[in-house]
Structure 1
């Protein structure tokens, strides 16, 4: 007997399908596509037979897996974020030309770094600061970063007091954890964080992401959001190992390491240290920019030039104007400012989207103390600090629209994706180089820094254990329209190119050019 489309869809969309892993997605999509484009039942029947067979096999496999999982609390978590009932629907699209104004972050967005070289430099400078200035033993800190390169991943969370590093799911559930550099077993995670593998701090963080930025949660945890603070996880872990060794290979009751690491990050990235070369990180980049920074492609430059002919383009970066000018001049050329109508540096995101800081005028590569009324902002000038509402006043003048429709593009998921979308209602595009490093469907992994960006220890950046979305994937699909490995993938197309986007019903469609391989394994 042939099964009707409505019956099949009702079975696929039934919540009981939520337990199935990503393996069924491609088949479900094939079934949906078949129904969408043909009414030929003879053509459909093969897909339907495969559907029933796979559905039965997966159900049996899932039952067996649950029965043999040692930690019941770990196995019995129910989830349906990426089950068939969230994907078998229509397709929504977007075009850049739908927007009046388009803004870009700079670092790791318009400007790409040679990540392995950059992260190694950051690790080396930070560890030497902690040895030379803070007095930590060099036993572990001086070891090459590459010895523990599997330990590194963007998006890890540090539990200051316990000396632990965590990977969490969308709701704060702790899927993996390490004490120092030693991976904790499932039973150890339960012993520390309870049978629900939940820490109130991370659970609260998932409910309000800015609480860990400047709220009370910042006293207990740190999220390592991008490639600038990524090596701090290994520095922290190696110091924990050092202290445990000195304590007879036993954990301390409490660790107080993070304030020293924070001082080290300040020493590296404080903007005044760029000009006076106090920061060995800045000094190294200045002396040999080609070692750490990619030149921008001609295709990206032409695309930006064409985009500016039709739209108002702005640069909104957290980098100070002197560092932004130096790196942009190397990547784009001395005329880098000509790609933008408005440039705002040292924007202090995410506060730029939530606070009312004054704009300050910039003179050449220096910030002045002269405050500028938002209504007096001029196109073509460079400003520092400021706020979103003031910037919108300026952009409205250029776009000749009282409420311009704005798109913002960036890599930092809290600063550049969550905050502008949640608090300023701008649409966003997220960048994640992990897509290319881990590989995408139909495309082999081809990232130069694959070894750094793929971790056998932590697993895929996008999924937690049991195929649940990480908090970072949850931000991407909820607050971004699109996610790409880098902007060259978009710049390869005309500015009016249509792209599939994330929606509540289409939770992987927004990955371009293809979804990460982890969704099909």
Structure 2
């Protein structure tokens, strides 16, 4: 798959490359993993929050939520928001909200994600979160004794955090690793190529050391051609980095003993080794590099890309695996979109004709004929029917509940806007970089503004 370019990036000038691990260096079987999380967290809600046991009967539907949605916690709604912060699609629980009701709820207001009333779902890990929220809101509305909508959202998030921290999620996942984790030899081939070209490689992950070690051994060691262990590829490994705090707060580095997992204070420069915590500013200074010489690759638009861009001038690359499915849908729907585009041109011409007839009515009444208006209206109705039928056909190619991830109606989605603003390049998976040399000069296409359209 291609690498998509938002800003120029000269790989010749990149001397160090940092990678997130989960959903970046390590690929997940997303549907299987999120299904497991869904069942586990529902049980946690029963055990920790005294939710009714019946919630564990809920069936997992991977299509219910897509990456990039927003939870409106007080209202119990899931929202798809445009790049301008306007709500384009809204669901209450499992039910779509009719347009008129949606307009009354949100009017032309801008959704401000800085407000504690909203929770963004910008990673693959947030899919099961959104599904559970929608399902529990639905059960509450049907009469089940559950907390209010806002507390539902907070309880789910807390239960997910507990599942990640108490070992119940990760210990099971490691014991059944082949069910949840993808082995991709092309990622190893890419890392070895970068190493041969003299790039300093780093892992900077929020995961703990034992989990990092298990997953990297499983996904990298079987395919190594140079070196005996995955650690031979990376000069620096930072675990429990606490991103985005790693890019914003001056926390200490701790040394990790790779054999025992024991920690000690890290003295001196951070140039090689395995660490916990720390701060990107010290790492950059100790490496003796300018920010423009470091590329960071991750999958979390906020934790890996947006926060970094706002605090340091490292270059950024975003891995967006769900984009692969959307790109395929774009190809399949292309002919339908072209038909819609042609009809829209016809509709605009008819509307211009209608406006000209209206001008005659007010400025040249003698040449005004009401029948002409009726004919144009009839033709517009006919075109509208054709467009509506084609739009139904077009939507069949995408998620049945939310449509496209990167668009909200005709506009780019809020998620797509953040990708464009903060990722220098983006791709469906890290191994897409194999199609380019480590000295590639990535250049964006010229962006066409509205007045430049032919």
**Please, what TM-score do these two structures have when normalized by structure 1?**
0.67
Instruction: Output the CA distance in 2 between the equivalents of 1:439 and 1:94.
Output: 23
Paired residues of 1:367 and 1:384 also in contact (CA < 8 A): no
- Of residues 201, 204, 229, the one that matches 1:335 is 229
Q: Max radius of gyration: which structure?
A: 2
Residues 348-377 of structure 1: per-residue CA shift (max 9 Å, x gap): 11111111111111122666553324x432
Alignment of 1:84-483 (within 5 A): 93-139=8-54, 141-146=56-61, 149-193=62-106, 195-196=107-108, 198=109, 202-203=111-112, 205=113, 211=114, 217=115, 219-246=116-143, 255-270=150-165, 273-274=166-167, 279=168, 281-297=169-185, 299-309=186-196, 310-333=198-221, 335-364=229-258, 368=262, 370-373=264-267, 375-379=268-272, 381-396=273-288, 401=289, 405-440=293-328, 455-465=399-409, 467-483=410-426
Where 2:79 maps in the other structure, the secondary structure is: strand
Where 2:89 maps in the other structure, the secondary structure is: strand
Where 2:237 maps in the other structure, the secondary structure is: strand
How far 1:488 sits from its partner (Å)? Answer: 1.6
Root-mean-square deviation (Å): 2.8
How far 1:255 sits from its partner (Å)? Answer: 4.4
Paired residues of 1:431 and 1:484 also in contact (CA < 8 A): yes
How far 1:93 sits from its partner (Å)? Answer: 4.7
Instruction: Output the CA distance in 1 between the equivalents of 2:31 and 2:6.
Output: 37
How far 1:139 sits from its partner (Å)? Answer: 4.3
Aligned to 2:354: none
Relative to structure 1, the CA distance from residue 261 to residue 120 in structure 2 (aligned partners, 3 Å threshold; closer, same or farther) is same
Equivalent pairs counted in the alignment come to: 375
Relative to structure 1, the CA distance from residue 142 to residue 496 in structure 2 (aligned partners, 3 Å threshold; closer, same or farther) is same
Residues 163-195 of structure 1: per-residue CA shift (max 9 Å, x gap): 1111111122111111111111111112222x2
How far 1:308 sits from its partner (Å)? Answer: 1.8
Relative to structure 1, the CA distance from residue 489 to residue 369 in structure 2 (aligned partners, 3 Å threshold; closer, same or farther) is closer
Aligned to 2:353: none
How far 1:425 sits from its partner (Å)? Answer: 1.3
Paired residues of 1:180 and 1:237 also in contact (CA < 8 A): yes
Instruction: Output the CA distance in 2 between the equivalents of 1:353 and 1:136.
Output: 37
Aligned to 2:432: 489
How far 1:303 sits from its partner (Å)? Answer: 2.1
Relative to structure 1, the CA distance from residue 302 to residue 253 in structure 2 (aligned partners, 3 Å threshold; closer, same or farther) is closer
Relative to structure 1, the CA distance from residue 252 to residue 105 in structure 2 (aligned partners, 3 Å threshold; closer, same or farther) is closer
**Please, what TM-score do these two structures have when normalized by structure 2?**
0.76
Aligned to 1:87: none
Relative to structure 1, the CA distance from residue 429 to residue 506 in structure 2 (aligned partners, 3 Å threshold; closer, same or farther) is farther
Q: Give the gaps of 5 or more residues in structure 1.
A: 1-89, 206-210, 212-216, 446-452, 508-521
Relative to structure 1, the CA distance from residue 293 to residue 444 in structure 2 (aligned partners, 3 Å threshold; closer, same or farther) is farther
Where 2:417 maps in the other structure, the secondary structure is: helix
Where 1:136 maps in the other structure, the secondary structure is: coil
Paired residues of 2:284 and 2:290 also in contact (CA < 8 A): no
Paired residues of 1:152 and 1:234 also in contact (CA < 8 A): yes
Paired residues of 2:247 and 2:307 also in contact (CA < 8 A): yes
Relative to structure 1, the CA distance from residue 259 to residue 317 in structure 2 (aligned partners, 3 Å threshold; closer, same or farther) is same
Using CA pairs under 8 Å that are at least 6 residues apart, name the structure with larger relative contact order, 1 or 2: 2
How far 1:498 sits from its partner (Å)? Answer: 3.9
